[in-house]
Amino acid sequence: MFTAVPRTPPPAETPANLKTGLASAILNSSLLGQLFGTPRPPSSEQGVSDPDTSLYDYDQLGEPGYSSVDFYHSTPGPSDPQRDKLDTPPQSHNVTVDIAPPIYSQPVKKGKRKTMSISDSELTDVSSDLGQQSPEVSPRREFPEAVPAKDSLKPTESPIPQFRSSPRLNALQDEHKRLLEQQGELERQLQLQQQQYNNSIKKMEQQLQQLQHQKRNKAAAEEEVGLLKQQKGEAEKKLQQQENLISNLKSRVNNLEQGNKELDEMNQQLHNTLDVLRHKMEDMNRAGENGRLRRQIDDLREDIESLQETVHRLNVELSRYQAAYRPPQLEKQGQDISGLPTKGPIPAWLINKKYLSPLFLAYDDKIKEKDDIIDSFEEDLAHFRDQIEEILKENERLHLRLEQTDATDVISATEWQQLQEQAKLVLEENQLLMEQLDLQQSKAQDMHKAHVTEVSRLTQQLVQAEAEKSELENSVMEQRHKYSQMKHEHDSLLIEAQEKLPIHEHKSAINELRRSLDENKQHYLDEMQELKSKLQSVQSEKKNLAVKAKDLIEEKEQLKADVRNVQRQLKKSEQQLAKMRAAVRATTDQEMTITELFNDFRRHVDMTVYERDSLAKQAEDYEVKANEIMEQVVAEKVNRGRIEERLQMYKSRAADKITIAVNRLKEQEASFENERAEFRREIRHLQLIVKEKDDVISSLNGDKKRVEEDLETMWQAATRDNMRMKESLRKSYHKSGHEDRYHSDHRELLLLSSDSER
């Protein structure tokens, strides 16, 4: 380690015989600093208040107020010409270059400066190191505080930013605090062990004069191994903290993705509900009052047209029957047949299509069947007429022949027999024709019976249709009930839809969040890739350092064996140790102390040149190894500091982005509330419109009931008129030759009319 050296001008004159020993003196000062512990780098919370300090800081080489101190390079000076010169190794003045880690400046604010008490054991170690070099050193001042002791070192706080308080994060913080406390306890135990080690070293200091360089190399190697272990532990802790932070960020990203998915699903559901409601509203608007009135007008127009056609057909049929079957005596008597009025308005019962349609269909079927029968009978009658005419013509021919034969010759018996046979054949043919006529009449009767059964079947179907009609009316009532339920659901969905966010704003917000999330993911993946590559390089360097540390530990064991051999020589250094202890307590001024130490070091170098040269070759190997190790350690520290700064910057950026996303979500919730209020107002307006339309529908239903009552009265009046007309027709046709056929047809018509009335 380096000692804190103020910016003081060098002495005006330097003795020529002391300049060559400057490197060894600086080595002793580095050992003095190692006893006080390795300070930590300054935390981000502690500001630099004294820019005039001259402590060596590797992380602040370019900042003003700090200057690097080159301790290990001394200017060559003239040596003593009377002293024998020895062979000096080419790198003997730079034996311990960069063995110890750099000292970090920790200036404190005004009013917060702390003093450091130096223990007796540490003073003993310092005096033993200095006393072995020169017994003539007479320190005059106390040594001021250069670096804080190990007890005063506090663990740095974790750089993990606090996003939100969660049980896992609190547990990690508690675990981190516990680890820091354990670290402090281990440091205190290490200090106690160091003190015990120093107490044991006090007894060995007299015999360390010949192996001073070897001891310094051993101490530097031990300190380097300890520093490497400490740096390894700190690096592992920081990696663990980074992994915890990464896991927290991953969990937060997963939560945000899940929230986005839920918002997408909710958005899709609301969009579908809104589309359904819009379609329903459009259907309701189209099926409004104008649509109902238009449909009613169309229905009435169709009913009027069908009734007019029916009346025309009935009038045609009635006129045909009257023309065909009206008796002649009624014309002579001038009696009027009571029936439908020839003048005046159309009777009211003729406009109800629902009651007359089945009867009309039955009438049409019956009339068609009768027409078919009449056509068949007319064809048979025409055929019979043709046959009779042929028979009559043949009879006339026969009579002519008979007369001719009577006039000429007498008919012979054979001819007479032939004539009888021919007459028999004619009679048989007539009998066959009569039988065929009977068969045709029986067929007509069978067809009449089938027609009657068909009419009864149709009446049964009519009854079934009435039952189906009642069932359909019940189903209509159920559908109305379902419609009311659907309407209630529609109103509730409208209320919910008014409380939701518009789809375009929601989609734009989701797209923005997705884009930012993708950018954060990409940025995070790039950083993780870079950190992984750096971590791999650090791990490879760590393995190399572990191998080197193992070699140093083996060398340490060898040095311990050498220390045990020279313990007997340490007893002679107790008197010099007492002198050095008094000298350390007397050093209060730092500037004068350093100056006197330089003078003491110069005198000490002259006495230790011979010892140094004897062990120079052995120190060269240790020097090369120490230089390589320290260069790697310094590079690793610089890289680690940069990585920590970059990680802290990325964490702060991630925290800012998360706060921005939270603010955006709050703004979206406010916009959702506003749109929800607007939807509620629109639902109330639509409810008023639906209520008005329901009132219009109820009024139209009342009008429909009144019209149906009027139609019922018209139907009853028409039934009475029909009965009166039938009675008059029965009285008028009772003397006609077609009375039987008329009565059968009339009974069928009465049966059909009675079925329709039921």
DSSP string, 177-244: HHHHHHHHHHHHHHHHHHHHHHHHHHTTGGG-STTHHHHHHHHHHHHHHHHHHHHHHHHHHHHHHHHH
Nearest in space to 147 (alpha carbons), one of 3, 246, 261: 3
Give the pLDDT of residue 75. 44
Give the single-character DSSP code of 98.
T
Contacting residues for 125 by C-beta, under 8 A, at least 6 apart:
35, 198, 201, 202
How far is Cα 214 from Cα 200, in angstroms, rounded to an integer?
18
How far is Cα 4 from Cα 39, in angstroms, rounded to an integer?
12
Give the pLDDT of residue 521. 85
Better pLDDT: 573 or 482? 482
Q: How confident is the model at residue 385 (pLDDT cuts 50, 70, 90)?
A: confident
Give the pLDDT of residue 27. 54
Residue 241: C-alpha distances to residues 175, 237, 248, 536, 652 (Å): 11, 6, 10, 17, 15
Per-residue pLDDT at 167 exceeds 80: no
Per-residue pLDDT at 35 exceeds 60: no
Q: Which residue has the tokens 């031990």?
A: 222
Question: Do residues 127 and 63 lie in contact, with contact meaning Cβ atoms separated by under 8 Å?
Answer: no
CA atoms within a 13 Å half-sphere pointing along the CA-CB vector of 543: 5
**What confidence tens digit (pLDDT) does each residue in 559-606 have?**
877 777 777 777 676 667 777 777 667 766 666 766 676 677 767 766
Give the pLDDT of residue 587. 65
Token output for 723: 């009965």
Per-residue pLDDT at 155 exceeds 50: no
Summarize the confidence of residues 368-390 as an average pLDDT.
87
Give the pLDDT of residue 384. 86
Q: How confident is the model at residue 406 (pLDDT cuts 50, 70, 90)?
A: low
Give the pLDDT of residue 113. 44
> Which of 201-210, 254-263, 298-307 is least confident?
201-210
Most confident of 8-22, 484-498, 581-595: 484-498
Summarize the confidence of residues 14-27 as an average pLDDT.
48
Q: Which residue has the tokens 């990585």?
A: 643
What is the residue extent of each domain of the chain? 19-252+567-668
How far is Cα 5 from Cα 28, in angstroms, rounded to an integer?
14
Give the pLDDT of residue 443. 84
Give the pLDDT of residue 367. 82
Q: Which amino acid is at 54?
A: S
Per-residue pLDDT at 511 exceeds 70: yes
Per-residue pLDDT at 480 exceeds 60: yes
Give the pLDDT of residue 133. 43
How far is Cα 184 from Cα 570, in angstroms, rounded to an integer?
33
Angle at 540 between CA 536 and CA 541, to 5 degrees: 115
Give the pLDDT of residue 69. 41
Q: Which residue has the tokens 């223990």?
A: 119
Token output for 756: 């329709």
Start-to-end C-alpha separation, the chain: 123
Per-residue pLDDT at 287 exceeds 60: yes
Summarize the confidence of residues 28-54 as an average pLDDT.
45
Sign of the alpha-carbon dihedral angle for 228, 229, 235, 236: positive
Per-residue pLDDT at 381 exceeds 80: yes
How far is Cα 37 from Cα 191, in angstroms, rounded to an integer?
9
Per-residue pLDDT at 692 exceeds 80: yes
In DSSP notation, 259-284 reads HHHHHHHHHHHHHHHHHHHHHHHHHH
Per-residue pLDDT at 174 exceeds 60: yes
**What confidence tens digit (pLDDT) does each residue in 52-78 have?**
444 444 444 444 443 444 444 444 444
Better pLDDT: 674 or 107? 674
Per-residue pLDDT at 468 exceeds 80: yes
> Which of 27-31, 110-114, 225-229, 704-708 is least confident?
110-114
Q: How confident is the model at residue 491 (pLDDT cuts 50, 70, 90)?
A: confident
Per-residue pLDDT at 387 exceeds 80: yes
Per-residue pLDDT at 669 exceeds 70: yes
Q: How confident is the model at residue 172 (pLDDT cuts 50, 70, 90)?
A: low
Summarize the confidence of residues 636-645 as an average pLDDT.
81
Give the pLDDT of residue 71. 41
Per-residue pLDDT at 704 exceeds 60: yes
Question: Do residues 95 and 611 lie in contact, with contact meaning Cβ atoms separated by under 8 Å?
Answer: no
Q: How confident is the model at residue 104 (pLDDT cuts 50, 70, 90)?
A: very low
Nearest in space to 647 (alpha carbons), one of 315, 221, 159, 272: 159
Sign of the alpha-carbon dihedral angle for 608, 614, 618, 623: positive
